[in-house]
Amino acid sequence: MSGVAGEATNLFQATMEAAQVGIYVMGDGRFIYVNPFMCALFGYSAEEFQNRVGPLDLVVAEDHDWVSEQLALRAAGVPGHPYEVTARRKDGSLFTMSVLGMPARFGDLPVSVGTVLDVTERKHAERRIRELADFDALTGLPNRRLLHDRTAQMIAAAERDGNSAALMFLDIDHFKRVNDSLGHSIGDDLLCALALRYSAVVRKVDTLARLGGDEFIILLPDVGAATAAEVARRLLESAAAPFSVGGHELTVTSSIGISLYPQDGHDIDTLLKNADTAMYKAKEHGRNTFRFYSTEMNTATLERLMMESSLRQALTAQEFKLHYQPLVCLESGDIVGAEALIRWCHRDLGMVMPDRFIPVAEDTGMINPIGDWVLLEACRQAQTWIASGLCLRTMAVNVAPVQFRQAGFVEMVGGVLSLTGLCAERLELELTERTVMHDAEVTLGTLSALDRMGVGLSLDDFGTGYSSLAYLKRFPVGKLKIDRSFIMDLETDPDDQAIASTIINMGSSLRLTVLAEGVETAEQLARLRQMGCGMVQGYHFSRPVTAERMTELLRDQPFRYRH
Ligand code: C2E
Ligand code: MG
Ligand code: MG
């Protein structure tokens, strides 16, 4: 090699050897030249590399499509932009590589000249910076910045889907005392331990963030007041057991304020501010408790929570009682049956009626043990009356939808009958249209099994639900109870008259007994008699009464027609 050309080659060689970046020349899908740095980067010798290794050998399979596309673009003369792929060394180890290729010509051959860099370190650093920016360094929880992002996302989604959401402001009670008396490092350990316990309470989709100090924020997408209250209760409970930090046994409590989207605010600042206000209300209320921002929420959910927790103890504390209302045969005036109606004798609230607590019991699943108790008690009472010589054809027991659908319901009914000795024909289960319509196939199976046992079935509150006539034919129902709302204005409202008489006629043509609920006046009774109604129940005869009073009514038969 001579003169200027030799000088240029030497210069090129020296430059390439000194470069601290991988440099390549690629043509026809193979590496024509790679510099020493690039050989070292991938662990190949120059001989192994040049003309043998192709670009796809250097990247993981997932990146093949992308790299092939880039190669085609360079071959077509299109300049490249730096891009990142996962590279594979000769020994199989991986790293993140940044590539920049440019089209060029090498004699007649179109080539691509480019540089590659190992950017693994930079990637790590970037990730760490992101973590520092988004997460609290002490607890590792999302910080204020990330909380803002997530809240904005949550509000956008809630707005789109018409969902509600809750934001909680949680502040540790008297945390300053821990810091002041035991030092900041114990305080820090305590915060971490608390963060762990709180994390275990919230769901995956929730965000538990730390705003600094002893303040935590919990973001709960897709929840309403009741669930938020339940989560708050569990958060308070989770901190109840003492913490052991730095050789100290510490007990802490916290106060929680809750704001609800959308009623308490449409943006994070308002929601935070209102949750903060509510948190101070919780502090004022003696700490270790939670409060909603809006007052109505407090009273509604607090009563409900109170009811829920005392409902759990009501069974064992024997606070339930059954009252019985006579079912009267319209033709003879005889009391031929009784409907069992539950009452809750609450320590503070006094007598609580079923309409107030049955829905709560249904939501919490408490209805199952309560319903089992009702059935047992009613059957036991019916058998007592029958054994003492009183005539009682039917003991009617209300069954809630959840209870009816619980596994083993039929077996439970069978068990109660054999335990009490009550004959199955004496028991009548009252179901609403909503209960039987829920899942017609399952319902039919259960109803048929009960029917085969000999248990009677009646449709309660008839006329208020779906009122589909088709299922009256399909389901083994023996009785229809016309809802009180149609009886109330029977004397004056022609629509109600039409409905009542239609139900009565339809019932008789389907050979079903029809009972009118809520009969309060002699006029209503007279109308029903004209219409040919079979049975009646209501205050005109008797309110629901205690078992003792019902015994007297059964014995005296005060409504029987005497000539
Ligand atoms: P229901 O089964 O339709 O019971 C009839 C309700 O109407 C009873 O209310 C009864 O006291 C009331 N009532 C009867 N005659 C008259 C009347 O002439 N005028 C007026 N204004 N009301 C009358 P109660 O005892 O408050 O029960 C309400 C509902 O609670 C019941 O409606 C039933 O759905 C449910 N329930 C009661 N006991 C139980 C139970 O043990 N289990 C379940 N799952 N639900 C029950
Ligand atoms: Mg009923
Ligand atoms: Mg009813």
**134 pLDDT band (50/70/90 cuts)?**
confident
Whether residue 463 has its Cβ less than 6 Å from ligand 1: no
**466 pLDDT band (50/70/90 cuts)?**
low
Least trusted range by pLDDT, from 38-47, 172-181, 293-302, 312-321: 293-302
Quick one: fold of 16-123?
Beta-Lactamase (3.30.450)
Q: How far is the CA of 514 from the centre of ligand 3 (A)?
A: 13
Whether residue 520 has its Cβ less than 6 Å from ligand 1: yes
**pLDDT recorded at residue 106:** 80
384 pLDDT above the threshold of 70: yes
Q: How far is the CA of 480 from the centre of ligand 1 (A)?
A: 15
Whether residue 375 has its Cβ less than 6 Å from ligand 1: no
Q: What is the mean pLDDT of residues 454-461?
A: 95
Domain range list for the chain? 16-123, 139-293, 318-556
Q: How far is the CA of 109 from the centre of ligand 3 (A)?
A: 92
Q: How far is the CA of 517 from the centre of ligand 3 (A)?
A: 6
4 pLDDT above the threshold of 80: no
| Ligand 1 atom closest to 537 (CA) | 15
Token pair recorded at residue 28: 């026809």
Write out the CATH class of domain 139-293. Answer: alpha beta
pLDDT tens, residue by residue, 230-263: 899 999 999 888 999 988 888 899 999 999 999 9
| CA 21/CA 257 separation, integer angstroms | 57
Q: What is the mean pLDDT of residues 295-312?
A: 75
Whether residue 451 has its Cβ less than 6 Å from ligand 1: no
Mutate to test the pocket of ligand 1, among 398, 399, 457, 520 (most ligand atoms within 8 A of CB): 398
Least trusted range by pLDDT, from 36-40, 98-102, 536-540: 98-102
519 pLDDT above the threshold of 90: yes
Q: What is the mean pLDDT of residues 436-461?
A: 89
Q: How far is the CA of 441 from the centre of ligand 1 (A)?
A: 28
Whether residue 355 has its Cβ less than 6 Å from ligand 1: yes
The percentage of the chain sitting over the pLDDT mark of 90, rounded to a whole number, equals 64
What is the number of the ligand closest to the CA of 361?
1
**pLDDT recorded at residue 310:** 83
Mutate to test the pocket of ligand 1, among 341, 379, 537 (most ligand atoms within 8 A of CB): 341
**pLDDT recorded at residue 74:** 83
Closest by CA to 145, choosing from 235, 207, 228, is 207
Q: Centre a 10 Å sphere on the Cβ of residue 78 and count the other Cβ atoms it contains.
A: 12
| CA 17/CA 34 separation, integer angstroms | 10
153 pLDDT above the threshold of 60: yes
468 pLDDT above the threshold of 80: no
361 pLDDT above the threshold of 60: yes
Q: What is the mean pLDDT of residues 348-360?
A: 88
| Ligand 1 atom closest to 520 (CA) | 18
What is the number of the ligand closest to the CA of 458?
2
193 pLDDT above the threshold of 80: yes
319 pLDDT above the threshold of 60: yes
| CA 272/CA 168 separation, integer angstroms | 8
Token pair recorded at residue 251: 């007990």
Whether residue 539 has its Cβ less than 6 Å from ligand 1: yes
Least trusted range by pLDDT, from 112-116, 291-295, 462-466: 462-466
**79 pLDDT band (50/70/90 cuts)?**
confident
| Ligand 1 atom closest to 367 (CA) | 44
Closest by CA to 221, choosing from 255, 261, 271, 276, is 261
**7 pLDDT band (50/70/90 cuts)?**
confident
Whether residue 354 has its Cβ less than 6 Å from ligand 1: yes
Phi-psi region of 518 (alpha: psi -120 to 50; beta: other; left: phi over 0): left
Question: Where in 109-253 does DSSP place strands (E)?
Answer: 109-118, 165-172, 207-212, 215-221, 243-245, 248-250
**pLDDT recorded at residue 473:** 81
Same topology between domain 16-123 and domain 139-293? no
pLDDT tens, residue by residue, 492-513: 999 999 999 999 999 999 999 9
Q: Which DSSP helix (H) or strand (E) runs through 255?
A: strand 254-261
Name the residue at shortest CA distance from atom 20 of ligand 1.
Answer: 518
**pLDDT recorded at residue 323:** 98
Q: What is the mean pLDDT of residues 315-337?
A: 95
What is the number of the ligand closest to the CA of 461?
3
Using alpha carbons, list the distances in angstroms from residue 11 to 33, 40, 91, 425. 16, 21, 32, 109
**pLDDT recorded at residue 36:** 95
1 pLDDT above the threshold of 60: no
Superfamily of domain 318-556: EAL domain (3.20.20.450)
**525 pLDDT band (50/70/90 cuts)?**
very high
Closest by CA to 17, choosing from 33, 5, 29, 1, is 33
**563 pLDDT band (50/70/90 cuts)?**
low
Q: Which DSSP helix (H) or strand (E) runs through 514?
A: strand 513-516
Name the residue at shortest CA distance from atom 17 of ligand 1.
Answer: 518
